[in-house]
Amino acid sequence: MIIGDILSATLIFAVPLMLVALGGMFSERSGIVNIALEGIMIVGALAASLFLRYVDDMGYNPDYTQLYVLASILIAGIVGIIYSQLLAFASIKLKADQVISGTALNMLAPALAVVVTWNIQGTAQTTVLIPSWVRISQESLGIAGDNILIRFLFKSLFLTTPIAFILLLVSIFFLYHTKTGLRLRACGEHPQAADSVGVNVYRMRYLGVGISGFFAGIGGIAYTLAAGSGFTSTVAGYGFLALAVMIFGNWKPVNILFASFFFAFFRIISFYSNSLTFLPTFDNLASSEYIYLIMPYLVTMIILVLTSKRSRAPKAEGIPYDKGRR
């Protein structure tokens, strides 16, 4: 059964990684380096968990629990969009350094979250507890039994999981099969060329950053639900991890899907490393779980170095677009 547990945990941690990495992909494909994903995740998670808390306090209708969760996911996405526009404003309108303004937003978000929760929940109470009814249980769907597949699906299933896969399909369709998707990609590769055929580069970039805010905000609440101990003003570096996933996935949706599972798997293995007998135990090394924590980062680095010649990074990312420059 432990295999079922591991697969289930992998799935639930892969979901936020995939969502946030997809978000980062949209932003970078439009030409804006979005290092603020971590911060956007935090504000999204903050808004959504406060909403869920509020619903729980006000009394809720047990029949509509998943509707509340859906509303909280939308709230997370919308708050993510709003917060991401701070990055868009600085880097598109004011042509500021994208990495620096992103870093500023990353520093701002956890502080903001602590201040807000402290003021709403009272002194020193900075954990926003997530009500237990948000989980989709086996019973609520009327499915009985216990085998690997059921464990995998229902051990910890939240509405964020199906929504993430729907968003993945939508992303693929949007990016490769719509006019706007093509224009967005053009702005990340050669904005001057895009501009010359009448594409509004600024608008496309605002859109790219906005989508990344929506995805990252949802990713934030997905992470908080997965972590299970409530919102504590942090997403434990998942926003940065998602950047690695995005690069590992070569800025392509399907590759990002696989990359996020790869990362999540190693993450989970490190939690279970003591109870898995088939793994090497590193007997003469204390705290060997750290090896598994290091692994995804190290593998990404090795892959980055090996594939640097073939890296498909958007060519114009990180460079503010100036209409007057040729």
Partner 1 sequence: MKRKRSFNTALLTTILASVGAILIGLFIGYLLLLATKSEYAFWGLRKILTVGISDPKKFAKVLYQAMPLICTGLSVAFAFKTGLFNIGATGQYTVGAFFALFAGIQLQLPWYVAIVFAMIGGAIWGSIPGICKALFNVNEVITSIMFNWIGVFAVNMAFQNFPMLVVDYWGKSSVRDRTPALADANPNAILPKLGLDELMNSNLVNIGIFIAVIIAVIIWVILQKTTFGYEIKACGYNRDASRYAGISAKRNIILSFTIAGALAGLGGGLYYLSGTGQYTFLKTLLAAGFNGIPVALLANSHPIGVIASALFISYIQVGGDALQPRFVRENIDIIIGVIIYVSAFALLLKIWFGKLFMRQSLAASSMKDDGPIQTPQKGSMNSNEKEEKQQ
* Total site size for partner 1, rule CB under 8 A: 48
DSSP string for residues in 6-56: HHHHHHHHHHHHHHHHHHHHHHHHTT---TTHHHHHHHHHHHHHHHHHHHH
- Closest by CA to 76, choosing from 110, 108, 41, 105, is 41
Q: Which of 60, 202, 271, 297: binder of partner 1 (CB under 8 A)?
A: 297
Q: What are phi and psi of 276, to 5 degrees?
A: -100, 115
User: 295-300, long-range: CB within 8 Å, 24+ apart, which pairs?
Assistant: 295/266, 295/270, 296/241, 296/244, 296/262, 296/263, 296/266, 296/267, 297/244, 299/262, 299/266, 300/244, 300/247, 300/248
For residue 231, the SS3 value is: strand
Show the site string, 240-259: x = touches partner 1 by CB under 8 A, - = not: x--xx--x------------
Q: Of 238, 242, 206, nearest to 27 (Cα)?
A: 206
Nearest by Cα to 312 from 256, 233, 242, 239:
256
Residues 6 or more apart whose CB falls under 8 angstroms from that of 305 comprise: none
| Residues of this chain, 97-126, that bind partner 1 according to CB under 8 A | 97, 99-101, 103-105, 107-108, 110-112, 114-115, 118-119, 123-124
Cβ closest to partner 1, residue 143 vs residue 298? 298
Contact with partner 1 (CB under 8 A) among 57, 62, 94, 197: 94
At closest approach, how far in Å is the CB of 34 from partner 1? 12
**Closest to partner 1 by CB, 22 or 246:** 246
CB of 108 to partner 1, least distance (A): 3
* Residue 280 in contact with partner 1, rule: CB under 8 A: no
Q: Pick one of 146, 200, 294, 323: the residue that binds partner 1 (CB under 8 A).
A: 294
Nearer of residues 91 and 161 to partner 1, judged by Cβ: 91
What's the DSSP call for residue 63? G
Site residues (CB under 8 A) for partner 1, limited to 190-229: none
Taking the complex as a whole, how short is the minimal distance between the CB of residue 106 and partner 1, in angstroms?
8
Residue 276 or residue 291: which is nearer to partner 1 going by CB?
A: 291
Interacting residue ranges for partner 1, rule: CB under 8 A: 33, 35, 86, 90, 94-97, 99-101, 103-105, 107-108, 110-112, 114-115, 118-119, 123-124, 234, 236-237, 240, 243-244, 247, 285-288, 290-291, 293-294, 297-298, 300-301, 304-305, 308, 313
